A and B are shown apart, each in its own frame.
Chain A
Amino acid sequence: MNERRIVQTGIAAAVLLFAFRLTAYRISEWEQAIITQFGKPVGGAITKPGLHFKLPDPIQKTHRLDKRILNWDGFPNQIPTKDKKYIWVDTTARWRIKDPLLFIQTVRDEDGARSRLDGILDAVTRDVISGHNLVEAVRNSDRIIGVIAERNKAAEEMGEEPETSGTLEKIAVGREKISEMIIEKARKGLGEFGIEIIDVQMRRIAYEASVEAKVFDRMVSERQRIAERIRSFGKGERAKIMGKISRDLQEIQSKAYEKAEGIRGDGDGKAIRIYAGAMNSDPDFYEFLRTLEAYKKALPQDTRLILSTESKFLELLRKR
């Protein structure tokens, strides 16, 4: 009797376990599923994670789908922009299966979805990029224009070469908007597949090889222009300083001459006044004294003198 109980319990447990394995299925946090009965979907999508039950396999089947954000990776596309510049655009997108039932019915699985995404996103990207100028896909704001204008102004004041010449064109939409436009357009096309597009990122934008070479050439010539200007500026500065040297030199020397002569003149004037002041008290005596002094200094030595007896010096001789 006891043995029979054990056997019965054992068999019952095995049967239950078997039934459980046939009918139970688990849905993980990152999954959602559609149950099909003989290929026809029954009920809504199962999105709640945990343990669920269905009829055994040949009758009802589970189709698991991812609930998480998924990636789409585009092929780099060579696209001409509106201003006829050839660029490579490499976009990636994030998407999600929003309506599993619709998704299963229209694209079956992720591979199917991927091919739809390829078609739609590539086309939309191409449309949007080729409908705009290159700068729209590069820049996000006009901030740079202000920055450059300010810098150029400062450079001009310093007499230096502005780093960037010419004017940058203003953008009408900008990079983020371009992405949004791609998302917007793609969203319309993808809704009918049960796909929600979350965002599109332009991962890479690069010049096409031949354009790139030209851009590099331009960059080289731009740098050379700047370098030349810098050198020339240096030479100019040197010339300025050289000019300053000769100007300052002349100024210093002539100022010194001016002052020195003035000082000397002052001294001479003073001396004249002093002489005059003293001599004026008896001009006659001064004349007499000074004449005598002049004789002493002016008449040479060792010379020959012819005197007339008429001279005053010999007056006494004559009178005798």
Chain B
Amino acid sequence: MPDPWEDPSEEIKDLLESMQKKFQGGFKFNWGLIAAVVLVLLAGIGALSAAYTVQPQEKAVVLRFGRFVGTSGPGIHFKIPFGVDTAIKVPTERVLQEEFGFRAQGVKGARTTYEEKAFKEESLMLTGDLNVADVEWIVQYKVSDPKKFLFNTRDVRKNLRDVSQSVLRRVVGDREVGSVLTTARAEIAEEAHRIMQEVLDRYDMGVRIITLKLQDVNPPESVRPAFNEVNSAKQEQEKLINEAEREYNRVIPEARGKAAQELAKAEGDATQVVNRAKGDADRFKSVLQAYRTAPRVTRTRLYLETIEEVYGRFKEMTIVDKGVQGLLPVFDARGAGAKP
């Protein structure tokens, strides 16, 4: 067997030379030479088509006359040439992404054209209370089994898109618009993920969903202001309540303090009254004790001292004898109330 890697131009040169010889020496084929040439050419072509390289993110599925014989991982591999074996490379390590309700700009701009219609069709869906929500989401997936991926369904991507839309609508259809828009996001994504994988497994598609994530979830465009109004009403409500609480806080603690002040004052008053009474009583007792030692003298002395003090204060004094009559009308009645 000649070396298949030998330079073919050498061969051709040889061939031409020998042909020339043949023509010079009369027309006679050298069959052996032709056979050799044919074999060399075939071997060259065969060797070239036998080798194939599998990239790190890929796996290759090898078919012999169309029948599956095995898969091969990254690296350089050889197969039987001349169309006996075919190797189909599948990107098993790459994470593929599908978008629903929107399309990423830029790198993925060169996608098939039928998707360039209004994406609202994908994202508007009915909720369980027959309202409409605008839900955008993505699905990321990987080829988990290249054999199933190639042999079990014809259009994996389309199936995936159809199923994802159907499943998400089913999950959203079991919830009311309020929770779809707010609290149930994670729950919806999780449930849709699970059901989607179940359905795809039923098709035995060889695909594993890695994540299903909800992106923007909104009320439909024309309803959005009304939803915002609810939010602003909530703010307003809180504002009113806060204001009232503020008023409460302004008034009540102060009133409590004032009440405490009032009590303290009353306590002070009471103490004062009692203490004064005690003082007065003590004084009286002391005086009484002393008085009892000489009651008559003391009584007289006290009386006279008082009279002295009191009368001493008057500006003028008129002493009227019993015999004098009709004098009273002369005086102003003011000074007349004296003790007899």
Q: Which residues of A contact B (CB under 8 A)?
A: 2-3, 6-7, 9-10, 26-31, 48-51, 66-71, 73, 92, 94, 134-135, 138-141, 143-144, 147-148, 163-164, 168, 175-176, 198-199, 201-207, 212, 215-216, 219-224, 226-228, 230-231, 233-235, 237-242, 244-245, 248-249, 252-253, 255-257, 259-264, 266-268, 270-272, 274-275, 277-279, 281-282, 285-286, 288-289, 292, 295-296, 299, 301-314
Bound form: Cα–Cα A314–B318 in Å? 12
Bound form: Cα–Cα A164–B129 in Å? 8
* Complex interface: chain B residues within 8 A of A66 (CB): 154
* Interface residue range, chain B: 35 or more
Q: Does B108 contact A (CB under 8 A)?
A: no
Of B176, B303, B316, B338, the residue contacting A164 (CB under 8 A) is: B176
B163, A296: Cβ atoms under 8 Å?
Answer: no
| Cβ of B267 to closest chain A Cβ, rounded Å | 5
Bound form: Cα–Cα A36–B301 in Å? 161
Contact with A along B107-132 (1 / 0, CB 8 A): 00000000000000110111111111
- Indicate whether A307 sits within 8 Å of B320 (C-beta atoms), given known contacts A3-B32, A176-B170, A312-B340: yes
Bound form: Cα–Cα A253–B262 in Å? 9
* Complex interface: chain B residues within 8 A of A234 (CB): 233, 236-241
- Indicate whether A271 sits within 8 Å of B276 (C-beta atoms), given known contacts A227-B233, A305-B314: yes
Identify 20 new A-B residue pairs, CB closer than 8 A, beyond the known A10-B35, A281-B285.
A6-B31, A6-B35, A51-B65, A71-B158, A71-B159, A202-B169, A220-B226, A223-B226, A238-B241, A248-B252, A256-B263, A267-B271, A274-B277, A274-B280, A282-B292, A303-B315, A304-B315, A305-B311, A305-B338, A310-B340
Bound form: Cα–Cα A235–B158 in Å? 54
Contact with A along B2-38 (1 / 0, CB 8 A): 0000000000000000000000000000111011001
B64, A50: Cβ atoms under 8 Å?
Answer: yes
Of A73, A245, A259, the residue contacting B266 (CB under 8 A) is: A259
Q: Which 10 pairs across A and B sit closest by C-beta, in order of nearness?
A: A267-B270, A234-B237, A260-B266, A256-B259, A278-B281, A271-B277, A28-B66, A241-B244, A304-B335, A223-B226
Q: Tell me the residues in window 247-271 of chain B with beta carbons closer than 8 Å to chain A beta carbons.
A: 247-248, 251-252, 255-256, 258-260, 262-263, 265-267, 269-271
Q: Does B230 contact A (CB under 8 A)?
A: yes
* Complex interface: chain A residues within 8 A of B163 (CB): 201
A238, B130: Cβ atoms under 8 Å?
Answer: no
B322, A274: Cβ atoms under 8 Å?
Answer: no
| Cβ of B245 to closest chain A Cβ, rounded Å | 6
Closest to B316 in A: A304
Binding-face segment, B47-55, B89-97, B145-153, B207-215 = B145-153
* Complex interface: chain A residues within 8 A of B162 (CB): 71, 73, 92, 201, 203
Closest to A166 in B: B129
* Complex interface: chain A residues within 8 A of B131 (CB): 215, 219
B152, A303: Cβ atoms under 8 Å?
Answer: no
Contact sample, A vs B, 6 pairs, CB 8 Å cutoff: A10-B35, A140-B170, A244-B248, A272-B277, A305-B311, A310-B322
